[in-house]
Amino acid sequence: MDDNRRYYSLDALRGSMMMLGIVLHGSQWYISEPPGGLPVPTDPSTAYVFDVIVHFIHSFRMPLFFVLAGFFTSLLVQKRGLRGTYANRGSRILSPLLVSCLTILPLTMLAMIAFMGSAKFNTFQVLPSMEQINILKAEISAAGMPVDQPSLGHLWFLYYLLYFYLLIPLCMGLVWLLKKADADVGKVIASPLLYIPLVMYSAATLWAFRGGVLFEGFLFVKPHLPALLYYGSFFVFGYVFHNFRQILVTFNHSLNGFLGISVILLPLAIMATANEFAMADVDPQTHAVAVALNACLTWSLIYLFMGLFLRFLDYKSPWILYISNSSYWVYLIHMPIVTMIAWLLLPFDLPALIKFPIVVLSTTLICFSSYHYWIQDSWVSQLLNGVRFNHAWPWQENAASNVAK
């Protein structure tokens, strides 16, 4: 396969997974029954559809993102070597993480404290009293979430990437061993039947989590080993996939099959997880069912979305370029905006189905406007992307292209 081609489809998919955070984090304030690993107050207006949305997005978004991170890391190693890759990742991941911890993270924590305090105590204030904060901490701690550890909030994925980059030499060795072991290993990896061992491995790494889903442990500075193992595995898989790119053809050709599998698995996985969270005591059989169904769902959706983007979006486009270049900024800045808008809507007696689109659309408008007018041609873009941009809006690019034709 072509070693020099640009994967427009995977650029678009990676950007889309980052931007999907707006939908996920907008939904979490309106879920009707917060899962056991996410014991936070919600808006009084709720709807079950947001429970479904959160479970659906959470089941594949970060696993797929880490698959893509591994894939593009292998591509970077191929182009720049190991030393060049570490230098690049230090400037593009470590530096933005440190800057964001000093700027975006405090705003995020302030917005979340304001929302949780106001939602819990039916008030509308930026800072709850110390008594209210202590009550919140006690309830969250009783539900199993540590409150005495510093949290990275939504920046945790950058932090975990730094750990996964330490695996690059091991990934290089694994690829070498696979290529040396059997000339047909690429055919094995490209087989749709690979889905079965992938599911089995992910199920084993999911066993440590209640309900077979990761809503706990990974948000904090102290590394959470089960989460590192689970998410790190997807990074390794992505690295291997780049070296056996026949699997990309499989993703494309098996799109319809995994669409059908995903439609069947989603409600079953949601019910299995809800059943386990509803139980006071751990039941191994119930847990095993939840873990198996969620592992199957995760890989079905990975195959599905890889196939969708490879089949329909693998071409050069102003929209793909814009999404790819803006997604990093949009992800970093979206969380305090989502939470603050949800907080501003708390006093209004509106259905969740009205509040949610206001939150998502307002956040999207603010994020993209800030990127377009302030960020893309600034030092921030240089920090995040290594280059400054001067994009027109994608629809303007399309209009100009049509006129030129």
Per-residue confidence in pLDDT tens, the chain, 405 aa: 556 678 999 999 999 999 999 999 999 999 998 776 667 889 999 999 999 999 999 999 999 999 999 999 999 999 999 999 999 999 999 999 999 999 999 999 999 999 999 999 998 988 888 898 888 888 877 777 777 888 999 999 999 999 999 999 999 999 999 998 877 898 999 999 999 999 999 999 999 999 999 887 888 898 899 999 999 999 999 999 999 999 999 999 999 999 999 999 999 999 999 999 888 788 899 999 999 999 999 999 999 999 999 999 999 999 999 999 999 999 999 999 999 999 999 999 999 999 999 999 999 999 999 999 999 999 999 999 999 999 999 988 765 555 444
Q: In angstroms, rounded to a whole number, what is the distance separating the alpha carbons of residues 380 and 384?
A: 6
State the DSSP code for 223: -
Q: In angstroms, rounded to a whole number, what is the distance separating the alpha carbons of residues 395 and 388?
A: 20
Q: In angstroms, rounded to a whole number, what is the distance separating the alpha carbons of residues 18 and 384?
A: 14
The pLDDT of residue 399: 58
Tokens of 301: 């959706």
* Angle, vertex CA 108, rays to CA 107 and CA 113, nearest 5: 100
* The total number of residues written for the chain in this structure: 405
Amino acid symbol at 271: M
Q: In angstroms, rounded to a whole number, what is the distance separating the alpha carbons of residues 300 and 292?
A: 12
List, in sequence order, every residue forming a beta bridge with 151; answer none if it has no partner: 220
The pLDDT of residue 281: 83
The pLDDT of residue 209: 93
- Evaluate whether residue 3 is within a structural domain: no
CB-based contact 286:276 (threshold 8 Å)? yes
List, in sequence order, every residue forming a beta bridge with 220; answer none if it has no partner: 151
CA distances from 2 to 44, 174, 324 (A): 53, 22, 21
- Evaluate whether residue 87 is within a structural domain: yes
**Orientation angle between helical segments 95-102 and 318-345, nearest 10 degrees:** 20
Q: In angstroms, rounded to a whole number, what is the distance separating the alpha carbons of residues 371 and 282?
A: 47
- Which value, to the nearest 10 degrees, does the dihedral of the CA atoms of residues 122, 128, 130, 134 take? 60
The pLDDT of residue 215: 84
- Evaluate whether residue 337 is within a structural domain: yes
The pLDDT of residue 219: 87
The pLDDT of residue 130: 87
- Evaluate whether residue 361 is within a structural domain: yes
Which residues fall within 8 angstroms of residue 230, CB to CB, at 6 or more apart?
202, 205, 206, 208, 209, 214
User: DSSP string covering 359-376, please?
Assistant: HHHHHHHHHHHHIIIIIT
- Which value, to the nearest 10 degrees, does the dihedral of the CA atoms of residues 267, 155, 165, 191 take? 20
The pLDDT of residue 397: 77
Tokens of 397: 């690019």
- Evaluate whether residue 323 is within a structural domain: yes
Tokens of 240: 């291997």
Q: In angstroms, rounded to a whole number, what is the distance separating the alpha carbons of residues 213 and 376?
A: 36
Split into its structural domains, the chain has a count of 1
Phi-psi region of 217 (alpha: psi -120 to 50; beta: other; left: phi over 0): left
SS3 13: helix
Give me the domain span that covers residue 110.
8-404
SS3 220: strand
